[in-house]
Amino acid sequence: MNTFAPLRILLTLTEEEEFEELINPEHTPLWECWPNYIRRQEVFQHSLSTTRSVRDTLRMLMRHCGIYSVEDYNDPEVIQDALLELKGNRGFGETTYNSYLKNIKSYLIFLRRNGIIKEVHLDRVEKFKNIIHEQHTQTEEEVIQVLAQLLNRRQTTLERLRNIFFYKLLILTGARPSELERLKKENIIKQGEKWTIKIRGGKNKPSNRFYYLPSGVKDALIPYMLYRKQLARNEDWLFASQSKRTGWTSKGMRHLLKKLSKELGFTVGLYSTRRYVATKLALAGATDSEIGNHLGHTRLSTTKRYIKQCGALTKKNVDKLSELLN
């Protein structure tokens, strides 16, 4: 079964008639190549969130900067001026600027592979230097408050049961949004009393990771699945959407955590929770390699960035030096 098919309409850039009078007939309209791009994404099972990011970037430049042709998207001067203009008007940061540029290049690389263009010229567009800022990491107290809020906040029964299981699974695995979005009921493997969940990584990530479900997570999963059965919500996706039959998206997950942030008065995020998992495992004595395997990292340097260097992590070293200082 092709799980990408329901998104085909969602990922359509625009109707050709809408802009046909604005296009230089000598140029190739950007959207002519888009269906083939979607098919490539389907075949190689690339992340849906990545595909949406590319789509949103292209559509933003079409709507706000009037760039509609492949030739213009491959023009370094046109793209740099457009991105700088958008950065000034919309106020997004350097990292977002670099991400938009990366999304455009991703689409152009596809066009080059398919003979639409001979080469990608956007390497001439200057990127901003990546500065690693201090990133928020959930604390133990915040995690406890989130779990309590999910239990008591105003929401439907389906949302409450789903959200509690979702957050507990996030705490257990530290999984990426795109990985959680792809989960299906078949990813739960039952062997008697022992239940395991299989999480498949995305592009250039380890293919599969397996996590034993402790009682706290399993006890959240069982009532959620029983209630779905009562509602005849039999779709394959593990996380059901309240209103749609196409599964709960990573955008919906982020929207939930954004609302929780407003309700609780502190930042609740998917990646701040992922960093919490890394820090928690480090405090428990796990090695960087073990933490990286747990989170599905391919580089040890990524794992090290995820571990919050808080006082608790340096306490044992401070204790060793305290005698000298005293």
Residue percentage of the chain with pLDDT more than 70: 87
Q: CATH class for domain 140-309?
A: mainly alpha
DSSP label at 309?
-
Q: Give the span between the Cα atoms of 83 and 96, in whole angstroms.
A: 10
The mean pLDDT of 53-58, rounded to a whole number, is 90
Res. 317 pLDDT band, cuts 50 70 90: confident
Tens-place pLDDT, residues 115-126: 999 999 999 999
Tens-place pLDDT, residues 141-189: 999 999 999 999 999 999 999 999 999 999 999 999 889 998 999 999 9
User: What amino acid occupies position 198?
Assistant: K
Tens-place pLDDT, residues 193-203: 899 999 987 65
Residue percentage of the chain with pLDDT more than 90: 53
Question: Do residues 174 and 188 lie in contact, with contact meaning Cβ atoms separated by under 8 Å?
Answer: no
Res. 15 pLDDT band, cuts 50 70 90: very low
Question: Do residues 315 and 323 lie in contact, with contact meaning Cβ atoms separated by under 8 Å?
Answer: no
pLDDT of residue 11: 43
- Which of 236, 228, 249 shows the shortest CA–CA distance to 180? 249
Segments making up each domain of the chain, as ranges: 5-124, 140-309
